[in-house]
Amino acid sequence: MQTTETRKRTRRGTQRVTMTDVANAADVSPSTVSLYLRRPGAVSRHLAERIARVIDEMGYVPNLVAGSLAAARSRTVGVILPSILNSFFAETYNTLQGMFQAAHYQTLLGVSEFSPEEEESLIRAFLAWSPAAMVVTGFHHTERTRAMLASCGVPVVEMWDMPSHPGEAVGISVGFSHFEVGRMQTSHLYDQGSRKVAYIGAAAHQDLRVRSRTDGYDAEVLRRGLHEPIDFTVPDAATTEVGRWLIDEILTRHPDIDGVVCSNDALALGVLFEVTRRDLRVPEDLAVVGFGDLPFSNSCPPPLTTVRPPQREIGRLSATQILAALDGARIAPQHHNLDCELVIRGSTRPVGKR
Tens digit of each residue's pLDDT (9 = 90 or more) over 95-135: 999 999 999 899 999 999 999 999 999 999 999 889 999 99
Question: In terms of pLDDT, which residue wins out, 91 or 330?
Answer: 91
Alpha-carbon gap, residue 290 to 304, rounded angstroms: 7
For the residues 270-278, what does the mean pLDDT come to?
97
Per-residue pLDDT reduced to its tens digit, 168-188: 999 899 999 999 999 999 999
pLDDT > 50? residue 4:
no
Instruction: Look at residue 206 in the predicted model and tell me its pLDDT.
Output: 78
Asked whether the beta carbons of 238 and 266 are under 8 A apart, the reply is yes
Q: Domains of the chain, with CATH numbers?
A: 4-58 (no CATH), 73-176+312-340 (3.40.50.2300), 178-308 (3.40.50.2300)
| Confidence at 65, pLDDT banded by 50, 70, 90 | low
Peptide bond into 166 cis (omega under 30): no
For the residues 147-157, what does the mean pLDDT come to?
94
Peptide bond into 40 cis (omega under 30): no
Instruction: Look at residue 354 in the predicted model and tell me its pLDDT.
Output: 57
pTM value?
0.80
pLDDT > 70? residue 234:
yes
Instruction: Look at residue 137 in the predicted model and tell me its pLDDT.
Output: 96
Instruction: Look at residue 2 in the predicted model and tell me its pLDDT.
Output: 52
Q: How many CB atoms lie within 10 A of CB 7?
A: 24
Instruction: Look at residue 237 in the predicted model and tell me its pLDDT.
Output: 87
For the residues 347-354, what does the mean pLDDT come to?
80
Least confident among 43-47, 65-69, 287-291, 324-328: 65-69
Strands (E), 194-294: 197-202, 230-234, 259-262, 287-291
Is residue 153 left, alpha or beta, with left meaning phi > 0 and alpha meaning psi from -120 to 50? left
Instruction: Look at residue 106 in the predicted model and tell me its pLDDT.
Output: 93
Q: Give me the percent of the chain exceeding a pLDDT of 90.
A: 69
Strands (E), 44-118: 76-81, 106-111
pLDDT > 90? residue 17:
no
| Confidence at 12, pLDDT banded by 50, 70, 90 | very low
Mean pLDDT of the chain: 90
Instruction: Look at residue 64 in the predicted model and tell me its pLDDT.
Output: 59
- Helix then strand then coil, in percent of the chain rounded to 5, is 45, 15, 40
| Confidence at 352, pLDDT banded by 50, 70, 90 | low
| Confidence at 312, pLDDT banded by 50, 70, 90 | very high
Alpha-carbon gap, residue 139 to 125, rounded angstroms: 19
Per-residue pLDDT reduced to its tens digit, 237-273: 889 999 999 999 999 999 999 999 999 999 999 999 9
Q: Which of 19-23, 72-76, 152-156, 303-307 has the highest mean predicted lDDT (pLDDT)? A: 303-307
pLDDT > 80? residue 47:
yes
Instruction: Look at residue 353 in the predicted model and tell me its pLDDT.
Output: 60
For the residues 192-212, what does the mean pLDDT come to?
91
Question: In terms of pLDDT, which residue wins out, 110 or 1?
Answer: 110
